[in-house]
């Protein structure tokens, strides 16, 4: 009887340790009646996964790259949910964010030390010198959570001064995967489109260099970070066919990583660009080109 009770207790403990909480409800206002809302797909097989299956797969990867649409609150709510659920399966080694620059790292470290000592900053936005272009309204809960954790919160981007130096004097990018003509041509096309065709062609090589050097920096930071590591960045940065994964490959760490793209319903994510996609509700479309043309 004692042996049977011990076995039952072990089974119950195992079930509890692998329990995955329900994902947060949709926040964005559009696409809530779309057939793909909430669908998680393993892109290599086309198989639909449950949230628990996704978490279990990601938990086994030394580096998880999560791509987001910056203004979609559902993506940030899911990122926070994912960090909490991964922590139930294994200790987190580090969290890296595109939204943090190296010149903020000392303030992030100080805020973490104070928070762990029970004296969190009264105003994390000010304490971290958070950049206004990243909406604290959608990032604040996630960052505040990270400050309370035992693992480091790390910058993954370049400083503005570094970006300006790259723009003025383009460094040579080494590696076979990230420097192919197809990769660079696709990136150039995206830069043209994202700037509404308004950039002079003379600026395009410098813009491409900045984009790729940012991806290279994220890859370098991931390699230097304690594992298991999670990187949060724009969806284009984490694409397997264009972004950080190519630079990881060039740096000798192309195996074992996992790419999850959070995508609004109605958009196509291919197996070439990600391992998994999670479809969310949509934010209203913004005509950024109209603002640029003013």
Nearest alpha carbon to residue 146 among 104, 107, 100, 94: 94
pLDDT digits 0-9 by tens, 111-169: 999 999 999 999 999 999 999 999 999 999 999 999 999 999 999 999 999 999 999 99
**Confidence band, pLDDT 50/70/90 cuts, at residue 7:** very low
CB burial string 125-154: b at 16+ within 10 A, e below = eebbebeeebebebbeebbbebbebebbbb
Kindly tell me the burial class for residue 28, based on how many C-beta atoms sit within 10 Å of its own C-beta (0-12, 13-18, 19 or more): buried
Residue with tokens 């660079």: 184
pLDDT digits 0-9 by tens, 244-275: 999 999 999 999 999 999 999 999 999 999 99
Q: How far is CA 87 from CA 5, 8, 13, 56, 96, in A?
A: 28, 24, 16, 11, 15
pLDDT value, residue 196: 85
Q: In angstroms, how far is the first alpha carbon of the chain from the final one?
A: 79
% of the chain residues with pLDDT over 90: 86
Between CA 63 and CA 43 the distance in angstroms is 18
**Confidence band, pLDDT 50/70/90 cuts, at residue 290:** low
Between CA 225 and CA 277 the distance in angstroms is 25
pLDDT value, residue 198: 83
Domains in the chain, ordered, with CATH?
32-283 (3.40.50.11550)
DSSP run (H or E) holding 175: none
* pLDDT exceeds 70 at position 12: no
| pTM of the predicted structure, to 2 decimals | 0.92
User: What are the residue ranges of helices labelled H in the chain?
Assistant: 2-17, 51-59, 73-89, 105-116, 124-127, 136-147, 160-168, 181-194, 204-224, 244-250, 288-293
pLDDT digits 0-9 by tens, 22-71: 999 999 999 999 999 999 999 999 999 999 999 999 999 999 999 999 99
Averaged pLDDT score across all residues of the chain = 92
pLDDT digits 0-9 by tens, 171-224: 999 999 999 999 999 999 999 998 888 888 889 999 999 999 999 999 999 999
């Amino acid at each position: 009887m004692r042996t049977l009770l011990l076995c039952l207790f072990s089974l119950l403990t195992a079930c509890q340790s692998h329990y995955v909480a329900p994902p947060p409800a949709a926040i964005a206002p559009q696409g809530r009646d779309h057939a793909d809302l909430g669908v998680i797909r393993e892109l290599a097989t086309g198989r639909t996964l449950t949230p628990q299956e996704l978490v279990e797969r990601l938990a086994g990867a030394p580096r998880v790259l999560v791509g987001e649409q910056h203004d979609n609150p559902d993506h940030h709510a899911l990122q926070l949910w994912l960090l909490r659920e991964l922590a139930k399966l294994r200790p987190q080694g580090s969290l890296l964010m595109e939204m943090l620059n190296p010149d903020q790292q000392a303030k992030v470290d100080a805020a973490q030390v104070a928070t762990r000592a029970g004296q969190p900053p009264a105003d994390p936005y000010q304490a971290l010198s958070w950049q206004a272009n990243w909406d604290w309204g959608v990032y604040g809960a996630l960052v505040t959570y990270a400050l309370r954790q035992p693992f480091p919160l790390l910058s993954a981007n370049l400083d503005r001064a570094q970006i300006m130096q790259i723009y003025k004097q383009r460094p040579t990018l080494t590696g076979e995967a990230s420097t192919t003509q197809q990769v660079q041509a696709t990136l150039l096309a995206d830069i043209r489109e994202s700037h509404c065709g308004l950039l002079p062609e003379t600026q395009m090589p410098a813009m491409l260099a900045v984009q790729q050097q940012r991806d290279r920096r994220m890859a370098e930071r991931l390699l230097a970070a304690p594992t298991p590591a999670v990187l949060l960045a724009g969806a284009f940065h984490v694409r397997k066919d264009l972004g950080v994964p190519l630079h990881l490959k060039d740096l000798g760490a192309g195996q074992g990583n996992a790419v999850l793209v959070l995508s609004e319903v109605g958009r196509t994510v291919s197996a070439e660009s990600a391992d998994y996609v999670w479809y969310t509700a949509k934010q209203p479309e913004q005509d950024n080109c109209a603002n640029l043309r003013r």
